[in-house]
Amino acid sequence: MTAPTPKDGILGIEAYVPGKSKVEGVENPVKLSANENVLGCSPLAMEAFAAAAPRLAAYPDPRATVLRQAVAAKFNLEPERLIFCCGSDEVFQILNQTFLSPGDNMIQGEFGFAAFAIGAYAAGGEVRFAKEPNYRIDVDEILALVDERTKLVFVANPGNPTGTILEGAEVRRLADSLPENIILVLDGAYREFATDPDFDDGFDLARERGNVVVTRTFSKLHGLAALRVGWGYAPSPIIAAMDRIRLPFNVNIPAMEAAVAALGDDDFQRRTVEHVEQWRAWLTQQLGGLGLEVTPSRANFVLVHFPKTPGRTAAEAESFLASRGLLVRYVANYGLPDALRITIGLEDGNRALVAALSAFLARR
């Protein structure tokens, strides 16, 4: 008898590696490895989640109507052009499944978010990685990889793990330059932390064109990562195709209720953005003061570069920080073996991080 074998390509896929949340011998480590909201979530979201408890026996509304209405109203979008999913990860997965056939290709930045590629490989597609000079998405590098089998281009804006943005004019140039049969996905998971006036979140592009999709999440700004709620805004034919394979009950009732409440809590959202802006600037300046290069970030984390000198490397820094209860993300699997990605923490965590890195770099 032969054992069941996964279809071609599956065993070649590297599974997603989540940020560490535990370290041997440390009771309550400070988790700065998953870009979660360190302020938690809105108290209104917690109340709404708890209030949904008596409804656990019911299947959720497959159209996510209450959430659809709330998102449409908040962002001034047409409700029928929205899709709601189990995190924005599921939106990417469905896009890959819907539009990529074996032999087709998808393009993303060389340091692009790992979840984009997993779905593309699972669909039998090829993934092409566009160079990111200075850790930034480069429109011409993407365009140079396009051919007649290209179906999707994924751009996280701001990027993860780089934290850099593609300016509004460049987003538009990319959309203008891509053939109309190729879908441009603009993943705005960290969008709210990019407060630059010329940032373009892509909603107008998605409204005007037949081939632009914008995705957003409740996991970052709203601090609801545990509940897995993400959404996409896209032209109607794209939504209609995706809805055919979206599993019907993919957003559960407590998650939906909490998300609606979170969307209405402007005060919590404002406090989150202010916290990130204040401590991002502080961390960038302090780490720079230690002689480390920090890529200027527009997200709720920073990418910090380490020397290759033995004793000073990113891998050794990660272990040293972990031994002091500070968990950060080593990003070698993103093609960045000399860097760490560090979530902007609470004041105590940020200060402890700088002190620990200072001690690390002072070791003989």
Ligand X SMILES: Cc1ncc(COP(=O)(O)O)c(C=O)c1O
Give the interface with ligand X as residue ranges (CB under 6 A): 35, 87-89, 113, 156, 160, 187, 189, 217, 219, 225, 230
User: Residue number with the shortest CB distance to ligand X?
Assistant: 87
What is the rounded distance in angstroms from the CA atom of residue 95 to the CA atom of residue 119? 8
What is the rounded distance in angstroms from the CA atom of residue 216 to the CA atom of residue 251? 14
Residue 85: CB minimum distance to ligand X, A: 8
What is the rounded distance in angstroms from the CA atom of residue 296 to the CA atom of residue 319? 24
Q: Are 254 and 301 in contact (CB under 8 A)?
A: no
What is the rounded distance in angstroms from the CA atom of residue 161 to the CA atom of residue 305? 12
Residue 39: CB minimum distance to ligand X, A: 17
Tell me whether residue 35 or residue 211 sits nearer to ligand X (CB atom): 35
Angle between helix 43-51 and helix 253-263 axes, rounded to 10 deg: 150
Residue 84: CB minimum distance to ligand X, A: 11
Residue 117: CB minimum distance to ligand X, A: 12
Contacts of residue 230, defined as CB under 8 A and 6 or more positions apart, other chains included, come to 84, 85, 86, 87, 88, 89, 90, 91, 189, 215, 216, 217, 218, 219
Tell me whether residue 114 or residue 182 sits nearer to ligand X (CB atom): 114
Token pair 């989540």 is found at: 18
What is the rounded distance in angstroms from the CA atom of residue 346 to the CA atom of residue 223? 14
Ramachandran angles phi, psi of 186, nearest 5°: -105, 105
Instruction: Give the pairing of strands 326-327 and 30-31.
Output: parallel
Residue 189: CB minimum distance to ligand X, A: 3
Residue 166: CB minimum distance to ligand X, A: 13
Tell me whether residue 113 or residue 121 sits nearer to ligand X (CB atom): 113
Tell me whether residue 49 or residue 113 sits nearer to ligand X (CB atom): 113
Tell me whether residue 219 or residue 252 sits nearer to ligand X (CB atom): 219
What is the rounded distance in angstroms from the CA atom of residue 101 to the CA atom of residue 107? 14
Tell me whether residue 87 or residue 119 sits nearer to ligand X (CB atom): 87
The rounded radius of gyration (Å) of the Cα atoms in the chain is: 21
Residue 8: CB minimum distance to ligand X, A: 27
Residue 113: CB minimum distance to ligand X, A: 4
Tell me whether residue 60 or residue 230 sits nearer to ligand X (CB atom): 230
Q: Are 19 and 33 in contact (CB under 8 A)?
A: yes
What is the rounded distance in angstroms from the CA atom of residue 96 to the CA atom of residue 81? 18
Tell me whether residue 211 or residue 217 sits nearer to ligand X (CB atom): 217
Q: Which two tokens stand for residue 205?
A: 């592009």
Collapsing DSSP states into helix, strand and coil, what is residue 26? coil
